[in-house]
Every structure is written in C-alpha cells, then in structure tokens.
Amino acid sequence: MSFWTDDVTARDVVAVGIVLVSHSPQLAAGLTLLAGQMAGPDVHIEPAGGDQDGGLGTSDELVRAAIARADQGDGVLLLCDLGSAILTVREVLDGNGNGHIRLVDAPFVEGAVAAAVIASSGAPLDEVAQAAEDARDARKL
C-alpha cells in the first residue's frame, strides 16, 4: 500500500509509542523484545531501564531520551515496574500535563504486551492506555 493514496486511514499508521521504565536495563530490554514480537515491527517501543551507568535504578535522562525516540506524533504511553520508577516518570512529566505523554497504572508485562498489540492496530492513545490498564484483570489460570 502506498501512503500517497486516499485509502490510508488512521488505523493504517502506527503512531502511539510506548516506553518501558524499569530498574533493570535487562528487564526493560527483554520486555521491549517480547512486546515487539507480539505487536510487530511497526510499534515504537523503547526501553528506559537502569541508571546512567547501566546499573540498577532509574534515570530521568534515559526516560526523556526514550520518550523522544518513541514519540511518533500521536502520543507516548509509559509503563513502570516499581514505585520509584513511577516517581522518576512523574518528575519527567511534571508540568507536561497535555495528555500527549501518559503514565498508566498497569501491570508491567501484561500491560506492555496489551498496549503494544493494540497500538499495532493504529489505535489512538486513549485506547492503547485502556488496553494496558485492562490487562490488570486478565486471569492466568
């Protein structure tokens, strides 16, 4: 399909990005791979794991850089693993309450996969965020 035709709809273009914020660079990278394999290559999923030196922790600089890479114009969804990652993201988003970049209260793994799969359909930010949050209720057994 050519993007120069009139048949292109909003759902033909994946534009919502996802950032996975973890204390562990390996966990963020691994979940990025998993969610990316489930959703396909068109979803912009970026890890922001660990501190600036590659150790355990979180880094506002890594989060900002990941948001910039993931932002394709229709918003960025952020998912975090633990409490202080949420604090780091809130610090980054302080004063940026336009809704274009959104932190969701969702399970890290299930929420990331659900968000990525829904984002792959070209869904808007609200739907991608809702899918991540709804993953909280997914039963495993």
Concerning whether 23 is annotated as a catalytic residue, the answer is yes
Q: What domains can be seen in the chain, in order of their start residue?
A: 45-135 (3.40.50.510)
At 110, the pLDDT band (50, 70, 90 cuts) reads very high
The residue count of the chain comes to 141
- pLDDT for 91 equals 94
**Which is catalytic among the residues 15, 16, 21, 23?**
23
**Rounded to whole angstroms, how far apart are CA atoms 90 and 61?**
13
Three-state DSSP class for residue 107: coil
Look up the pTM and report it: 0.89
- pLDDT for 99 equals 81
Read off the pLDDT of residues 45-83 as tens digits, 9 standing for 90 and up.
999 999 999 999 999 999 999 999 999 989 999 999 998
Biggest alpha carbon–alpha carbon distance for the chain: 49
